[in-house]
Amino acid sequence: MEKFTTLTGPAAPLPMANIDTDKIIPARFLKTIKRSGLGVHLFDTLRFDAEGKERPDFVLNQAPWRKAEILVAHENFGCGSSREHAPWALLDFGIRCVIAPDFADIFYNNCFKNGILPVRLPRAVCDLLIEDARLGANARVTVDLERQVVVRPNGEEIGFEIDPFRKHLLLNGLDDIGQTMQHETAIDTFEARRKSAQSWLPATNSAA
């Protein structure tokens, strides 16, 4: 998983509440278990019309937000089903941080497992950031995870809270597998002892 330290760039304004996971990635695109390739379908019904043509009024179809890494929205982002494809699609598109007043719990947890930073800020602050974002390419926002601040284009710093352990995982690029592999030496030692003491047992890495 890629480390998350600091992001700086234009933030895409999406002033909508209750953006559910089906809106983020419609169910018809959930036929894959791969994490890659879903970005083209992110917000599919909002980005494209029935003929597959871009809707010019949708923010991610406009410069400078076509390559946005930061998204600012309203309440209850990621509600609906528990599909992990939703953060997969955001990440594959290039979005590494979503700022909103609150998130659905399962989506919030899935973000951390996939290297996305969900930042909770009050609605009034999100509205300020949305207004900043509408100014375009020169209105650059910085999200600094180490210092736990969002920096507005005018230089104002806004602090946010995050669980210390989750912060550690993002800063070090550790997903569930990465956490396990931190103990690789201890695991190898255990397996060697097990093989010696219980040689009659099949090896755990043997082919099926």
CATH superfamily of 6-176: Aconitase, domain 4 (3.20.19.10)
Over residues 169-193, the pLDDT tens digits come to 999 998 765 655 555 576 666 666 7
- Compute the CA torsion angle 76, 80, 84, 90 (nearest 10 deg): -50
Helix, strand, coil shares, percent, the chain, to 5: 40, 20, 45
CB 74 within 8 A of CB 126: yes
Amino acid in position 154: N
What are the sequence ranges of the domains in the chain?
6-176
Task: Give pLDDT, residue 121.
Answer: 98
Q: What is the pLDDT of residue 35?
A: 79
Pairing of strands 117-120, 140-144: unpaired
> What pLDDT digit, counting tens, does each position of 101-113 carry?
999 999 999 999 9
48-61: average pLDDT: 96
